[in-house]
Amino acid sequence: MPATGDRVRIHYTGRLPDGTTFDSSEGREPLEFVVGVQQVISGLDQAILEMDPGESKTVTIPPEEAYGERQAGLEQRVERSQLPDGVTEGVALQANVGGHDMVLWVTELDDDSAVVDPNHPLAGQTLVFDVELVDVDAGG
C-alpha cells in the first residue's frame, strides 16, 4: 500500500451515479501524482492509500470529499471583452478577484457577455471512480 508522499500512477474512469463519464485515463498514460498531499480530490486520495499495486476497485465519493457542495448565487455576468481571446464555454480561467487568486468556470458565452462561476462544474455531485493502482514509487 502507498503512504502519504509516495508517487503513484493510476488508471481511472470518473462517472456520475447515472453512468455518465466525465473523465477517464483510457487511451492515455496513467495519471501520476503524489498521494495524500491534495493533488487530487480527498476521496480519491483516501481510496488510493487503501489499495495495493495492481488492485482495482470502484469508489463512491460524496461531494464533501470531491468538489464540495455547490454554492448558489456566485455566478456573475461579465462583458465578453473582459475575457481572453479564444475563450470557450466550459473552460476554467485563472482570475484575481479582490486580491484573491481563484478559478472561474465559463458557463455561458455569447457575442457580448459571459457568465462565470467559481463553483467547479462537478460541485454538489457524488462521483464514482473505477480506479486501478498501477504502481507506487515510495518516497515520491
Q: How do residues 13-61 score in pLDDT, each as one tens digit?
A: 999 999 999 999 999 999 999 999 999 999 999 999 999 999 999 999 9
Q: State the pLDDT at residue 49.
A: 96
Q: Please write down the long-range contacts of 64-70, taking CB distance under 8 Å and 24 or more positions apart.
A: 65/41, 66/41, 66/42, 66/122, 66/125, 66/126, 66/127, 67/41, 67/119, 67/120, 67/122, 67/123, 67/124, 67/125, 68/120, 68/123, 68/124, 69/123, 69/124, 70/119, 70/123, 70/124
Q: Please, which pLDDT band fits residue 95 given cuts at 50, 70 and 90?
A: confident
Domains and CATH numbers, the chain: 7-68+122-137 (3.10.50.40), 76-117 (2.40.10.330)
The pLDDT > 70 percentage for the chain reads 99
User: Does 79 have pLDDT greater than 70?
Assistant: yes
Tell me the three cell numbers of residue 118. 467559481
Q: Please, which pLDDT band fits residue 100 given cuts at 50, 70 and 90?
A: confident
Q: Distance (Å, rounded) from C-alpha 4 to C-alpha 138?
A: 9
Q: State the pLDDT at residue 17.
A: 95
What 3-state class would DSSP assign to 122? coil
Answer for the pair 48, 134: CB distance below 8 angstroms, yes or no.
Answer: no
User: Does 112 have pLDDT greater than 80?
Assistant: yes
Q: State the pLDDT at residue 140.
A: 59
* 122 φψ region: left (φ > 0), alpha (ψ -120 to 50), beta (else): alpha
